[in-house]
């Protein structure tokens, strides 16, 4: 009797642990690196050499994060600000894009961010959503890089925008991506 009771208790505990583990995985799939924009917004611009043909894709990406239900805002500026999206040759074997985050010294506050989108001719970009790739959807890549501006790192969930590498067009955020930005900027 005693053994049976103990066994049931263990079973319950074990099931509880599984449920808790599953919940944690769902809740915490996004990865927050712990840095934050002090005013809850980021002023950004394009580099002077950024191609006009891809500007709308980047604007769309910023708007998608702005509409995720958090308080954070990407504020597009036409004048000189220190955070920008650049057009740089990162090499034929380089990444589609790359983002550098700069912080104020001795704080976890972000001072500025710079995204470099790969201009190398070996990278075929498109502004239309094609399930086959290359070409790579510019808006998808910009949406991912802007996620890094928010201090979100790569996830292991292939459906999320913050998954790396590129695995097809993703122009809308998953609930997990939204949970990430809402956690940082409620």
Footprint of Zn ion (CB under 5 A): 164
Closest separation in Å from C-beta 123 to Zn ion: 15
> Which residue number, 37 or 163, has a Cβ lying nearer to Zn ion?
163
Of residues 149, 145, 140, 80, the one with CA closest to residue 113 = 149
**C-alpha to C-alpha distances, 36 to 23, 129, 130, 131, nearest whole angstrom:** 26, 31, 34, 34
> Which position's Cβ is nearest Zn ion?
164
Q: List alpha helices for 54-161, DSSP H.
A: 55-66, 138-149
Beta pairing partners, 98: 116
Q: Closest distance between Zn ion and the C-beta of residue 148, in Å?
A: 6
Give the Å distances, CA to CA, from 58 to 65, 106, 117.
11, 31, 10
CB 62 within 8 A of CB 44: yes
Residue 163 C-beta: closest distance to Zn ion, Å: 9
Nearer to Zn ion, 43 or 164 (CB): 164
CB of 150 to Zn ion, least distance (A): 12
Q: Name the minimum Å distance from CB 185 to Zn ion.
A: 19
68 vs 161 by CB, closer to Zn ion: 161
Complex with Zn ion: residue 34 or 105, whichever CB lies closer: 34
124 CB-side CA count, 13 A: 7
Compute and round to an integer the Cα radius of gyration of the chain.
Answer: 20
Q: Which is nearer to Zn ion, 157 or 164 (CB)?
A: 164
Using alpha carbons, select from 147, 112, 182 the residue that is nearest to residue 155: 147
- Shortest approach of Zn ion to residue 117 CB, angstroms? 12
Instruction: Closer to Zn ion by CB, 15 or 169: give it.
Output: 169
At 141, list the tokens: 């890549």
């Amino acid at each position: 009797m005693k053994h049976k009771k103990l066994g049931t208790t263990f079973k319950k505990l074990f099931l509880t642990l599984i449920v808790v583990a599953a919940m944690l995985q769902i809740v915490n799939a996004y990865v927050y690196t712990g840095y934050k924009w002090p005013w809850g917004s980021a002023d950004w611009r394009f580099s002077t050499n950024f191609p006009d043909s891809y500007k709308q894709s980047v604007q769309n990406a910023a708007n998608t994060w702005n509409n995720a239900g958090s308080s954070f805002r990407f504020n597009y500026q036409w004048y000189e600000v220190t955070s920008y999206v650049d057009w740089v040759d990162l090499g034929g074997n380089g990444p589609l894009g790359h983002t550098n985050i700069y912080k104020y010294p001795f704080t976890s506050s972000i001072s500025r961010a710079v995204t470099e989108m790969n201009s190398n001719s070996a990278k075929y970009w498109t502004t239309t959503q094609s399930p086959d790739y290359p070409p790579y959807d510019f808006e998808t890549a910009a949406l991912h890089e802007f996620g890094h501006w928010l201090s979100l790192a790569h996830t292991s969930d292939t459906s999320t925008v913050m998954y790396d590498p590129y695995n097809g067009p993703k122009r809308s955020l998953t609930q997990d991506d939204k949970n990430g930005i809402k956690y940082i900027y409620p």
